[in-house]
Copies of this chain bind each other. A is one copy, B any other.
Amino acid sequence: MAFELVKTESSSKARRGRLTTAHGVIETPVFMPVGTQASVKAVSPRELRELKAQIILGNTYHLFVRPGMDVIRHFDGLHQFMRWDGPILTDSGGYQIFSLAKLRKITEEGAHFQNHLDGTPAFISPEIAIEIQQTLGSDIAMVLDECPPWPCEYDYAARSLEMTLRWAKRCKEAATTGQLLFGIVQGATFADLRRQSAEALVQIGFDGYAIGGVSVGEPEPEMMQAIETSEPFLPADRPRYAMGLGTPPQMVEMVARGVDMFDCVLPTRLARNGTAFAAEGTLNLKNAEYTRQKGPIEEGCTCPACAEFSRGYVRHLLKAEEILGLRLVSLHNLHFYLNLMTRTRAAIEAGTFEDFRRQFVHNYKARDEAGT
């Protein structure tokens, strides 16, 4: 078994687990930094190791477009290419085909599209999505799915779901290597479709189950509902992954709802805009109030940025558009996300997760400048 439950909670659905992959063991709940183009933006593999990142994510669509599979194959896969020897999860490319590519046409066979860089036409089917992820050599591959937009009509969601299930079956049949393969629960905001999707995927049988179609612009209650209406129909002995999520309190709330894995661009994206995460909410470090502050970005933080540099200096770097500013805030934010999951795991192990959750969410929401 690739996944083992180490501890469960009685007062919530939070789980402490352990997922074994070809490149190492992952302690869950886990946050996965996003390395879209074979690089987690602004940080190096060495820094990721020092931050104790357990697994990173690569985006199949982006890597398929550039540098292309020919180059990745020549370098013997993504691990070798980017020199990250820990586990990698790759998405299937579906989400980016729907959100980024031009002139896309979806048929039963697969997705025709023109890439967003130079318009080169391409075609990705479920079988090709698996083949690409095998070439990338990721430890965890995802099935190709159609991710409906929000809001979405019931009929469209139901029809899309049917095709996504047929695609999932084809992915399963195409996946013949030792790579772990995760199914993706769709069904938009409709409880019966979520259940139908989860049950059909479990019937096919996957190494893990993602909840897709979340973080696509829907309000937070609908996001939570998508999890709550999917989770009861997923097997306890497989990891659950909420795709593209979320804010720090959202992740903690999702853990309480039985989710084990997260990925999100917020820590690195907001860093490039000068926004830092902290226990009491986000700070915009470009604000004038930080100009003369000698303390670290966050008091008590053990990240490499806070260990050495002051808010005043980081603010200066951001205002002066120095790359070191983005680097330091990216390191801090990634540490914040990774450390939040470390603390979550410890709380589940100690049986104090409910207290941890209540206190963290309360403190965080008390002062969130960015409204994330």
User: Do the beta carbons of A81 and B313 come within 8 Å of each other?
Assistant: yes
Using a CB-CB cutoff of 8 Å, which residues 31-61 of chain A contact chain B?
A: 37-39, 41-46
Which residues on the B side are within 8 Å of A41 (C-beta)? Answer: 322-324
Minimum C-beta distance from A78 to chain B (A): 10
Pairwise interchain contact B320-A74, C-beta atoms closer than 8 A: no
A312 close to B (CB within 8 Å): yes
Q: How far is the CA of A37 from the CA of B317 in the complex (A)?
A: 8
- Tell me if A316 counts as interface (CB < 8 A to partner B): yes
Q: Does A23 contact B (CB under 8 A)?
A: no
Interface status of A269 (Cβ within 8 A of chain B): no
Question: Is the pair A313, B66 in contact by a Cβ cutoff of 8 Å?
Answer: no
B316 and A71 form a contact (CB under 8 A):
yes
Chain B residue with minimal CB distance to A326?
B323
Q: Is the CB of B292 within 8 A of A71?
A: yes
Q: Give how many A residues have a beta carbon under 8 Å from the other chain's beta carbons.
A: 35
A window 2-56: CB within 8 A of B: 37-39, 41-46
**How many identical subunits does the complex contain?**
2
Q: Are B294 and A75 in contact (CB under 8 A)?
A: yes
* Inter-chain pairs besides A42-B324, A81-B310, 16 sampled, C-beta below 8 Å: A38-B313, A38-B320, A38-B322, A39-B317, A39-B324, A43-B324, A66-B319, A66-B320, A67-B291, A67-B312, A71-B291, A71-B292, A74-B292, A75-B310, A83-B313, A323-B326
**Can you list, as one digit per residue, whether each of A296-311 has a CB less than 8 Å from chain B (1) or not (0)?**
0000000000001110
Q: A320-B66, A322-B41, A327-B323 are in contact. Are A83 and B309 (CB under 8 A)?
A: yes
Q: In the complex the two chains form, what is the Cα distance from A363 to B41 in whole Å?
A: 37
The answer to whether the Cβ of A82 comes within 8 Å of any Cβ in the partner chain is yes
Residues on B with beta carbons closer than 8 Å to the beta carbon of A323? 39, 41-42, 323, 326-327
Most B-side CB within 10 Å, residue of A39, A291, A324, A325 = A324
**How far is A46 from B67 in the complex, measured between Cα atoms in Å?**
31
Which residues of A319-350 are within 8 A (CB) of B? 319-320, 322-327
Say yes or no: A313 contacts B82, CB within 8 Å: yes
